[in-house]
Every structure is written in C-alpha cells, then in structure tokens.
Amino acid sequence: MSVRTGRNRAAKNVLIHLVLIAGALVMVAPFVWMVLTSLKTLGESTQVPPVIWPTALQWENYTHIFEMLPFYDFYWNTILTTVVKVVGQVFLCSLAAYAFARIEFPGRNALFIVFLSVLMVPGQVFLLPQFLIMKELGWLNTLTALIVPGLFSAFGTFLLRQFFMSLPKELEEAAKLDGCNHFQIYWRIMLPLAKPGLIALAIFVALWSWNDLMWPLIVNSTPDKMTLSAGLAYLTGEHTNMTNYPILMAGSVLAIWPMIIVFIFLQKHFVEGITLTGSK
C-alpha cells in the first residue's frame, strides 16, 4: 500500500512539473521570439512562413535604434518618472494606509469605501479631467505631467492597509506607553515591519510606470519628453511608412531588461509581501 501511494505521489509530482514547464514555455515563448526577431533582417521578420532563427545575427539593429530615436532621453525620462512615482506612492500610500488601519477617526470606514470605489472606475475615465488639469497648470510636454498624477493610488493604499492590519496591535500599544506619537509609531515601528508589502507595492508601481503608454502619449508630444513605451510607438506603421520590426523588437528588448532584473532580485520579497497582505 505504501509503495503504491509513493508511486501515485511521484506520478502526481511529475504531472504537476510537466504542466508548470508547459506553462513556463508558453509564457517565455513571446520573449524568445522578440529577441530572435531583433536579430533578423526586415525581410526575415515579415517572411511567410516565418523564419525562426536568423541566417545572420543583425546586431546592428541595436545601434540603429539610437540613431533613429533619442533613446537615451527615453531612458532617462522613464527612469526618473518611475523612481519618483515609486518613492511617492510608497510614502504617501503607506501614510494613508496606516491612518485607515490604525487611527480611529469619525467616518473612517465610509471614507475608505470611497477610496475603494475609485478602483471600480476604469482609468480611462480620469484621462480627460487629468489632461485638462495639466493644461490649466501649464504642465503639458513636461515630466511633471508624467509624474504628479501617479504619486498616489487607491490600490496602493488598500494593499498596505491590509498589511498594517495584519501586524500585532501590542507593538503599537507598547510604543504609545513609551510616549511615541502616531507618526513615530508609523515611521519607526510599522514601516520597517511592512517592508515586504512596501517592496510589493514598489514593484507594482515600477512595472505600471515603466510600461505606461497612454498617458505619456496624451500629455507629451515632443520626443525629448517621451518615455520608452511612448517613444517606441514612433517606430510603428502609424508614424513611419513601414514598421521595421527588427529595430522595434531591439528597442523593446532594451526597454524591458531593467524591469526583468528588478523582479529577479526582488521576487522573494514580492511574493512574501503579497502573501502576508492577505493573511488577515
């Protein structure tokens, strides 16, 4: 009986691993195809049936992208806006989340429901009001217009509120006995304990900001103020006579590798933060 149980368990593990490997291959395939296409000629990228492996690796595609577009400006704009948004959301959302989770004040639950209602509204609804505000402030075609609307989010507040609620109240009570005020409790006790949740939010914000396309295209029209995602849109057929897929894919490869590195190094904290956020 034990031998049969062991065999069934081993067969089950093999099946699970095969399913996971198949899923991983499906998810990695588009990335592999993007890398291979970035090393093809234009003719090979549009050939039918498709050419999987290029006959000669066209490494010059990665240099042409810098000749065709101000790619260094795209990188700088993307890095700057992403870093400021991450820092801003982590700080402001954690402040609001601590208030909703730990501070008793009239109308707290009703106000939090109003915050959650923002998550139910499609983001496209806010594009026109935000654009008009940026226009009235004279911020169009500036990096300020890319940064300010992304400094706070209802999702980040909700995520960190759930994390703060999972922390033991005894820590807060002990800090109050020692004479700490709410900000000292937030800054010295709660914030260090919420590190996994903060890292999870930082990764979410970084990915969202790095990949944001619609908002940069709406508020900015000058190339030197574009981000990577918006700048690469100039390589599509809408802006050129013909889409050069190898160069477009080369630019895409250059655009995504920083986020891949960030996730590889922080994935443990990311998973831990998401797991602990839903523990209560």
pLDDT tens, residue by residue, 209-224:
998 988 998 998 888 8
In sequence order, which ranges of 143-225 are alpha helices (DSSP H)? 143-147, 154-165, 169-177, 182-185, 191-193, 195-211, 214-219
Share in percent of the chain as helix, strand, coil (round to 5): 75, 0, 25
Angle between helices 71-102 and 108-119 (to 10 degrees): 150
Q: Residues in the chain with pLDDT < 70?
A: 1-4, 6, 237-242, 269-280
- Closest by alpha carbon to 171, among 194, 155, 153, 139? 194
* 93-142 confidence digits (pLDDT tens): 999 999 999 888 888 889 888 888 888 888 888 888 999 999 999 999 99
Residue 166: its pLDDT value, please?
A: 83
Mean pLDDT (the chain) is 86
Per-residue pLDDT, 240: 54
Write out the DSSP string of 221-279. -SGGG--HHHHHGGGSTTTSSS--HHHHHHHHHHHHHHHHHHHHHHHHHHHHHHHHHT-
Residue 7: the pLDDT is: 73
* Percent of residues, the chain, with pLDDT higher than 90: 30
DSSP codes, 245-259: HHHHHHHHHHHHHHH
For the chain, the first-to-last Cα distance in angstroms comes to 40
